[in-house]
Chains A and B, each alone.
Chain A
Amino acid sequence: MDRLAPLGRKLYDTRVLDLWERDTATLPRALRRRRRAYREFSRQFLSPLALEVDADPESYDPWPLLTESAKRGFQSEQLPAPLGTMPVMSIPTGLMFHTALKAEEFSAGCAGLGLAVMAHDLGAAALMLSGDLTAIRRWLVPLCRANRSGNPRLAAFAITEPGAGSDVEDTEGAPTARFVTTARRCAGGYVLNGQKIFISGGRHAHLVAVFAALEPDDGRAAHVQDDWTCFVVERGAPGFRTGRSEHKLGQRASDATELFFDDVFVPEENRVGAERSGWALNRNVLNYSRVPVAAIALGIAQSALEAAIEFTRRVRLGGRAALSYQEVQLAVADMWLDVSAMRGMVWQAARHSPSSQGVSSAAKAFCGDRAFAVANRSMDLLADHGSLSANRAEKAMRDSRLNQIYEGTNQINRLAVIEAFDTTDLRSST
């Protein structure tokens, strides 16, 4: 080092910084600050609860955590200050980067608790991305105001139905979707009937952005892509009830709940956007939300990597730390490479504003697959210890498995990449 010319020395990075700090240092100032705040919150509130809540999610009361998150401004970032808590300085980088960093850090602490806190962002995204200023004023502004004051008020996003999962995530499937949730016009509003399933945060949400097929006026059969309309349904609305919350493999601290609509009256002003604009809004929300979902995968992979490093430094083999052996170092390095590649992809996707289908879906599918691979590698490296819950690698395996399924399966997301690029790159190259 000393032998380098002075200019060469300046170009040589000698700072003793861990990778997390190095990565953080590359971000604009407002994001740097936010990333630190997310990590601190995750370490203080999510990580310590992770195993306990995973083991017994039914007895967990999420409100203290939600209140803490709201107090810190993490539940009201959809709108800039003074309405919400998104720093004005951050407007140029957009909301997406914040949400992605939050998803990464929270999920590194506990993906289930992270999702319990962040399901709200998905519900709120439907309001925000509608571009419908009336709906934003009516719903999003009060939500942000309540959350800012430390009084958590939550939204959820409901598209999936028992017979329509991939079909409501995919352009090809939409025309033949077997949906049951419908809306009929009536005096002063609409009447909703039907059912949604697997709704994250559905058990506790104060309001749900529900997508329902509005009965066509001309007697033709309703279709998702032509007739879907988004409505806000508030908790307590007569005829609206929640059903069971699923028992699932991972991300167990977050509920996936059934919603039932039996002749629910929804006033006109609860409609989000224009009639029959729901499909476009849904696509917009998915393009946006798939980046944070990729970031959730990244956070889980990071936790699996940390579990492997922590374990192999602690466990002794032949009188030395396991991590001092080459075969262990190679395995840990592989995981590290994967996590770094995922972070590069997520952060790059987060820079796309507004979000775009091909980029978001590619990040979602890639990170979901790699997170599961990293978590499995971590489990494998811990050998028998990997199967013990206390070591967290098995939790990462179970949690990351969901990232290949929700927000559209990774198969559907791969098809979405091709669909998106078919209108751009693929077309221009032929």
Chain B
Amino acid sequence: MVATDDLALIEQSLTRFGEHATDTLFGPGHDRGPDGDLDAVPSLLGELVSMDLVADPAPTGVGHDVGVWGRHVLDDGCRISFVALTSLAESCAGLASAVHAQGIGCLALDGWFGTVAGVSPGQRAVTAAVFVPRYGVAFDERTLRDGVRFVPESATSPPCVHGASPFVWALERPDWLVVVAPVDSAGVEGDAGARRAARSEWAIVTVPAESPGVHIADVGARVGIRALRQYEVTFDGVPAPDGAVVAIGERAARIATRVVACDWLGQSAMAVGSSHRAVSEARTYTEGRYQGGQTISGHAAVQLLLAEADHDVAVMNAVLATHADEPLGTIRDDALLRWAISCRLAIGEHAHRAVTNCVQALGGYGYMDDFGLSKRLRDVSALRSRHGSREQLLLLLDGLDESGAA
């Protein structure tokens, strides 16, 4: 649990940074597309690094502990990461997603740090976690052979990483790839019907991005969070020597659970930020726009839209708060996943509705890029699409132990 004073301090500095980021990305005098001045993103990320908000894979880096999804979450809980992501997403969900992606990459390393070719000591390394299957959610046994997998040593070949993940998020083009993958072994394959077995055989492997057999390609045009880099990564039997394996078996499965859960939790936190700001922007607008002989904030039709949006943000906040102050290391796997899935589902059900209601409150102006709400709708749609359809999430939820026992 984090001291209230510390939190207040972090919130203050984030608010200041948020104003500056908003001005830099969307203010007058900048070359803005619908996503703001994307050329300004690297320098803003640099500022966030110097604020120690960006996680650092090296244990010597301050961000390693205190950054978003840094190691403090194991003892302090997720609250600080939520506050940071929510606040950053109020200015730009893409910028927040970049910080989030780096954090998730570091979380997957679980404190491990080796020597990577091309990264000198003290130089910031960019980590990307590779854990999303080609289609479907991790831990669904059907996806085990469809995405990236770790192939253990056999009589004929050394251990290697194989397969493709089309949706790898990163702050910049990554130096490291942290592969969070099921182990491709006969035991897992044959274990049809036992959903939980899919969660016991995992491996976490680090792969330098420049390794032979690693192909990194941009995914192409996409709906939103465009300040974030998104890659399709293919591993063509990339060797994974002993020194590259962070964890395997039960420990790896725990890390995998944490990574997947925190990814969903982070998306929810960003969706809260984006929708919360959308509501305040829409309120301001409706108080100055006249139609029907009064400001539109006086019409029940508009009041209903914004009240529902307020309610949606409150629900999101409440779901997100469930275990926010519990040390991540003490939350049992099933409970963590249950929480994360509920949060992720709430993006589609609540954050998305909140933002679309705000667009509606602005009428035609809400549809135009100048007013910023159309970008928020695109961003929250992208967050809502991340890693698994609604049905797949519900099926995963159904398979979890209700008591929260691992």
Residues of A within 8 A of B (CB): 51, 55, 160, 163-167, 170, 172-173, 175-176, 178, 197-198, 246-250, 256, 315-319, 322, 327-328, 330-331, 372, 376, 379-390, 394, 397-398, 401-402, 404-406, 409-411, 415
Q: Which of A166, A175, A247, A380 contacts B390 (CB 8 A)?
A: A380
Asked whether B146 lies within 8 Å of A316 as measured between CB atoms, the reply is yes
Q: Which of A172, A317, A376, A411 contacts B143 (CB 8 A)?
A: A317
A390 to B143, alpha carbons, bound, how many Å?
Answer: 23
B39 interface contact, C-beta 8 A:
no
B29 interface contact, C-beta 8 A:
no
The minimal Cβ–Cβ distance linking A199 to chain B, given in whole angstroms, is 11
Asked whether A166 lies within 8 Å of B363 as measured between CB atoms, the reply is yes
Given A165-B291, A379-B381, A383-B135, CB of A319 within 8 Å of CB of B352? no
Given A173-B291, A318-B143, A328-B391, CB of A405 within 8 Å of CB of B385? no
Asked whether A317 lies within 8 Å of B146 as measured between CB atoms, the reply is yes
The minimal Cβ–Cβ distance linking A250 to chain B, given in whole angstroms, is 8
Asked whether B389 lies within 8 Å of A380 as measured between CB atoms, the reply is yes
Asked whether B387 lies within 8 Å of A384 as measured between CB atoms, the reply is yes
The contact sample of 25 A-B pairs, CB cut-off 8 A, is: A51-B221, A163-B290, A166-B292, A246-B370, A247-B34, A248-B368, A248-B369, A250-B367, A379-B385, A380-B384, A380-B385, A380-B390, A383-B135, A383-B136, A383-B387, A384-B132, A384-B385, A387-B381, A387-B386, A394-B378, A398-B223, A401-B359, A404-B360, A406-B364, A409-B363
Q: Which of B221, B293, B305 contacts A175 (CB 8 A)?
A: B293
A372 to B377, alpha carbons, bound, how many Å?
Answer: 12
B16 interface contact, C-beta 8 A:
no
Closest 6 CB pairs of A and B: A318-B142, A176-B293, A389-B221, A249-B374, A327-B391, A411-B301
Instruction: Give every chain B residue within 8 A of A411 (Cβ-Cβ).
Output: 301-302, 305, 360
Asked whether B391 lies within 8 Å of A248 as measured between CB atoms, the reply is no
Asked whether A178 lies within 8 Å of B222 as measured between CB atoms, the reply is no
* A175-B293, A327-B392 known, 10 other contacts, Cβ within 8 Å: A163-B290, A173-B293, A176-B293, A247-B370, A317-B135, A383-B385, A385-B166, A389-B222, A405-B366, A409-B360
Instruction: Give every chain A residue within 8 A of B390 (Cβ-Cβ).
Output: 331, 380
Q: Which of A173, A250, A398, A404 contacts B292 (CB 8 A)?
A: A173
Instruction: Give every chain B residue within 8 A of A170 (Cβ-Cβ).
Output: 292
The minimal Cβ–Cβ distance linking A176 to chain B, given in whole angstroms, is 4
Instruction: Give every chain A residue within 8 A of B385 (Cβ-Cβ).
Output: 379-380, 382-384, 386-387
The minimal Cβ–Cβ distance linking B213 to chain A, given in whole angstroms, is 23
B395 interface contact, C-beta 8 A:
yes
Instruction: Give every chain B residue within 8 A of A165 (Cβ-Cβ).
Output: 291, 363-364
A175 to B291, alpha carbons, bound, how many Å?
Answer: 10
A183 to B221, alpha carbons, bound, how many Å?
Answer: 47
Total chain B interface residues with beta-carbon distance under 8 A: 54
A280 to B148, alpha carbons, bound, how many Å?
Answer: 64
The minimal Cβ–Cβ distance linking B70 to chain A, given in whole angstroms, is 26
A379 to B391, alpha carbons, bound, how many Å?
Answer: 12
Interface positions, chain B 343-378, Cβ under 8 Å from A, are 348, 352, 356, 359-360, 363-364, 366-370, 374, 377-378
A319 to B221, alpha carbons, bound, how many Å?
Answer: 28
Instruction: Give every chain A residue within 8 A of B136 (Cβ-Cβ).
Output: 317, 322, 383
The residue among A380, A387, A405, A410 with the most chain B CB atoms within 10 A of its own CB is: A387
The minimal Cβ–Cβ distance linking A209 to chain B, given in whole angstroms, is 19
The minimal Cβ–Cβ distance linking A410 to chain B, given in whole angstroms, is 8
Instruction: Give every chain B residue within 8 A of A197 (Cβ-Cβ).
Output: 364
Instruction: Give every chain B residue within 8 A of A394 (Cβ-Cβ).
Output: 222-223, 378, 381
- Report the number of A-B residue pairs with Cβ-Cβ less than 8 Å: 152
Asked whether A405 lies within 8 Å of B389 as measured between CB atoms, the reply is no
Asked whether A390 lies within 8 Å of B221 as measured between CB atoms, the reply is yes
The minimal Cβ–Cβ distance linking A98 to chain B, given in whole angstroms, is 28
Asked whether B293 lies within 8 Å of A405 as measured between CB atoms, the reply is no
A165 to B146, alpha carbons, bound, how many Å?
Answer: 51
A229 to B146, alpha carbons, bound, how many Å?
Answer: 64
B400 interface contact, C-beta 8 A:
no
The residue among A383, A394, A402 with the most chain B CB atoms within 10 A of its own CB is: A383
The minimal Cβ–Cβ distance linking B134 to chain A, given in whole angstroms, is 8
B36 interface contact, C-beta 8 A:
no
Chain B, Cβ-Cβ closest to A412: B301
1/0 contact string of B126-165 vs chain A (CB within 8 Å):
0000001011100001111110000000000000000000
Q: Which of B144, B224, B290, B391 contacts A331 (CB 8 A)?
A: B391
Given A384-B167, A387-B381, CB of A397 within 8 Å of CB of B223? yes
The minimal Cβ–Cβ distance linking A365 to chain B, given in whole angstroms, is 12
Q: Which of A167, A380, A401 contacts B367 (CB 8 A)?
A: A401
A51 to B367, alpha carbons, bound, how many Å?
Answer: 19
Given A170-B292, A388-B221, A411-B301, CB of A383 within 8 Å of CB of B389? yes
Instruction: Give every chain B residue within 8 A of A384 (Cβ-Cβ).
Output: 132, 135, 166-167, 385-387
B219 interface contact, C-beta 8 A:
yes
A387 to B224, alpha carbons, bound, how many Å?
Answer: 8
Asked whether B34 lies within 8 Å of A381 as measured between CB atoms, the reply is no
Interface positions, chain B 303-350, Cβ under 8 Å from A, are 305, 348
Instruction: Give every chain B residue within 8 A of A316 (Cβ-Cβ).
Output: 135, 146
Instruction: Give every chain A residue within 8 A of B135 (Cβ-Cβ).
Output: 315-317, 322, 383-385
Chain A, Cβ-Cβ closest to B390: A380
Asked whether B222 lies within 8 Å of A249 as measured between CB atoms, the reply is no
The minimal Cβ–Cβ distance linking B260 to chain A, given in whole angstroms, is 13
Chain B, Cβ-Cβ closest to A51: B221
Asked whether A331 lies within 8 Å of B389 as measured between CB atoms, the reply is yes
Asked whether A402 lies within 8 Å of B384 as measured between CB atoms, the reply is no
A376 to B370, alpha carbons, bound, how many Å?
Answer: 23
Instruction: Give every chain B residue within 8 A of A247 (Cβ-Cβ).
Output: 34, 368-370
Given A376-B352, A384-B387, A405-B360, CB of A390 within 8 Å of CB of B374? no
A388 to B381, alpha carbons, bound, how many Å?
Answer: 11
Chain B, Cβ-Cβ closest to A166: B291
The residue among A55, A330, A390, A398 with the most chain B CB atoms within 10 A of its own CB is: A398
B122 interface contact, C-beta 8 A:
no
The minimal Cβ–Cβ distance linking A112 to chain B, given in whole angstroms, is 13
Chain B, Cβ-Cβ closest to A172: B292
Instruction: Give every chain A residue within 8 A of B34 (Cβ-Cβ).
Output: 247
B190 interface contact, C-beta 8 A:
no
B239 interface contact, C-beta 8 A:
no
B220 interface contact, C-beta 8 A:
yes
Q: Which of A327, A380, A388 contacts B219 (CB 8 A)?
A: A388
Instruction: Give every chain A residue within 8 A of B292 (Cβ-Cβ).
Output: 166-167, 170, 172-173, 176
Instruction: Give every chain A residue within 8 A of B369 (Cβ-Cβ).
Output: 246-249
Q: Which of A178, A318, A376, A390 contacts B220 (CB 8 A)?
A: A390
